[in-house]
Structure 1
Amino acid sequence: MHGTEIIPGVWIGENVKIGHNITLNGPSYIGESCELADDVQIGAYTVAGRGSSLQKGVSIERSVVWQNNTLKQHVELKGTVLGSSVTVLAGASVREESVIGDHCVIGKKCVVKEGVKIWPNKQLDHHSIINESIIWTEKQQKSLFGEMGVKGICNVDLTTSYVHRLALAYASTIKVGVKIGIGHDGTPYSQLLAHMFMTAMHASGVHTYDLGSGMTAITRYAVNHYHLEGAVHVRQISVEGEHWQLEFVDAKGLPIAKAQERKIENAYFQESFRRVSPKDLGYVKKAHQIMTHYMDRLASFVNSGAIHRKKYRVVVEYENQNLRSIVPMLFDRLGCQLIQLPGTHHSQEQLPAFMKDNHADLGVRLNDNGEIEMLVTEEGQVLDEVTLILLHIFMQVNLHDGEIRVPSSAPHYADWIGEKYGRKVVRLKMDPRSLMEGCSNHGFHLYSDGLYTITQILHMMSLQHCGFSQLVETDPGFSMCKKNVSCPWTEKGKIMRTLLEESRNHRVELIDGIKIFHEAEAGWSLIIPDSEEPLFRVLASANNSETAEKLALMYTKKIEHYLNAHIIVQ
């Protein structure tokens, strides 16, 4: 090994890039073309091989890291050996006397325990705790699907070969000759994965509709418009540019059911893929003008003439790549003056200030998938979560004469609204499928389609001849508070049983998680185990913010106490 001794006992090769606030202790060696980001700590008896990338906050001591490895933010290695071309994702920890083989991927916040050996080409799931060596299985993970489909990192765990196998598994669970839509966002990698998915579907005898570039909402609508059996939408989900997601929807445009997810996972892990003869191969059909069809149907739900006469000025902050065509066309059709605030990375105060400067009637921030991130009234008021819940309730009253569907976290004010309008209020689980199923309208879904929601707001404003602030000015007389508390996967069930046992003297609702009612505080607490992260989500509602905060904090501390004291029902 060639290098230069920069301080006593610390040697580095050529073309090494070193950031700020680096800690280097000898004896240690940093190979050529390595990159050490800010706050990296290199302890004694450490070797970092050629071409390795150590990102911000990485800590290594008494370890050998061979060539071309990538260690993401705040990875910790102690007394371990990493082979070549290993990727260790953010927050992971690899302990003493462990060995990681070549081309492995260690998931985010994964913990590899002492003495564990991981053979080459293995993938470890996010947040997993690995106590035993992994030799034969290819991938250590709980499941393929998360809350909104299949997620992964570009060219790390979400590769073209992985997507090809996933598509074969999906195709094997549906009949030969059916039609499935494939959509994607505007990124090149999404387009690549979408085309890979289509070719695998064709090999299994499934026909595809190429829905082109757009939002997931358009893909959902296309299922209804073309009478498809389902669809898949591929999109980037992180601004850092690393994470992608494949969303699977059924014949109603809803996220596929858990039973269907399990069928796909079984086919994937068992490699039970269907092969068809050449005469049964699938084909692709281009879905022309699907965006125009989507806008036509969107406009049919509202009184476009009434909106047009009001000549509303609407400020929309959005990311150009996926929405640059449809947003201007939609507002032009509605006769609204669109004032664009480019990008989606402004501060919380910029959109309200920009609205006031332009005397706008409504302000909206959309993410790059067309989902609402912020709503602002003409007075500059940013709608909080409580007001958004009430807005969705009033929109349902305006849209149809049936039941009012609300998430299980909705306050009892929803029941008062139901009584006022003679409607039954039905509480739903807070997972995306349940919420969308309860509020679907010919392929449009109130809780997931930002443009559909905006057109309905403008429709209500025009019919009631009022501003947006008047539309949402009702005082609900309650407050909500949210908190998260970490909990290992293995303890979630025990914690839930303990909370249920402890709450036997309270009124309890089990629609989604455990909802515990507190009569003295005129409120409730809702404890939900997160389906993707090792944590609980604690929500509380009361007639004032202090009481809501108190209730949420009480159950957060209870869970922490149970974990620390091991006071749990087995």
Structure 2
Amino acid sequence: MFSDTINTGIFVLEPEVFDYIPADRPVDFSSEVFPALLADGKPIYGAVAEGYWEDVGTLESYVSSHKDVMDGKVQVDVPGFELGRGVWLGEGADVHPDAKIEGFAVIGENCRVEAGARIGDYAVLGGNVRVRGGADIERSVVHDNAYLGEGVQLRGSVIGRASDLRRGARCDDGSVIGDECFIGDNAHIAADVKIYPFKTVEAGAVINSSIIWESKGARQLFGRDGVSGLANVDISPELAARVAMAFATTLRKDATVITSRDSSRAARMLKRAFMAGLNASGINVLDLEVAPVPVTRYLTRQPQASAGATIRLVDGDSQSVVIRFFDRDGIDITTDAQRKIERLFAREDFRRVLAGEIGDIGFPRGRWSTTPPPSARPSTSPRSATRASSWWSTTATAPPPSSCPTCWASSGPTCWA
């Protein structure tokens, strides 16, 4: 059956209807309760309401409903007075004569729009919003008490209550800034990105994915020791995979990266995501599993490896992790290399390979040897078999007597484990 009416989910029920609702589980009225009532011959009535209805459960419908109001499709009393055709001005609003208002717009009570600002078509400003000079707002909804600094650009965005967007910040189509967020100077919120309430985005940061659990959006990935933050909050599996893909893109396809971790669950989880990111960009992984940093550095220097990475808890903080990166000499990567990774990460300019080029994961068996073993890990393709023979060891070798099985050093003060 085709109809231009919908069930809005607003019901007036007789008490006896509750006898048809099973206890202790979710129930759907349309598919369960109503058919049961009809089967028992109970009457069901519907009232067709006049007017406009829109399901505003998505950002697109939420923004479009504001547009429908300004287009006159919905009979709504907009507070304030109509300054001109399609332009409403709230009580106490102050719009500078040199500010531009183009097309339909709603400017709430006590708003202040400074000279040089532009309020474009289908822009909605809540109460007490301040718009500084040079700001440009179009097809966006800005909630009460927000601050839009000089040169802020909004295109098809929703800005939450009491959020603070500083000079030159930019929000692209479909982006949402939650309540009481701080967006720093010249930060860029990409299309369809959601910034959840009470978050901070640092000046100059480029945010390409939603900030939900993370405490902030940082301009720079790298700190003093690497990429660090709260485990599963700032450093999530998704972020670990994306950082790995950015790192992998700086290396030649088919290169080998040594990976390791400490014994924590957080490091184990994040390293698995990190290795998946490397593989997705065509990088092979030789995983040492649990290994000390010096061992990881040493093995990264072997001819088979092009780089290394380790993930472990931050010293003295069981809630935070750090991802450290090593060059082919086992040394921390340079600042220039860090910035290259950050640029790729910010642009999401990752190398993605075809299915047949996805990297392999191997685990050392016995002591590392620069001499290829007589046999190599079985492979389904000649290309993989040739590659694997140079860096997989399939023959386990027992450690020398009185040595540590982890680092092969003599037991004692020199043991790295």
Q: Which TM-score band (shorter chain)? A: 0.3 to 0.5
> Which TM-score applies when normalising by structure 2?
0.41
> Which TM-score applies when normalising by structure 1?
0.31
User: Higher helix fraction: Structure 1 or Structure 2?
Assistant: 1
User: Higher strand fraction: Structure 1 or Structure 2?
Assistant: 1
Greater Rg over alpha carbons, structure:
2
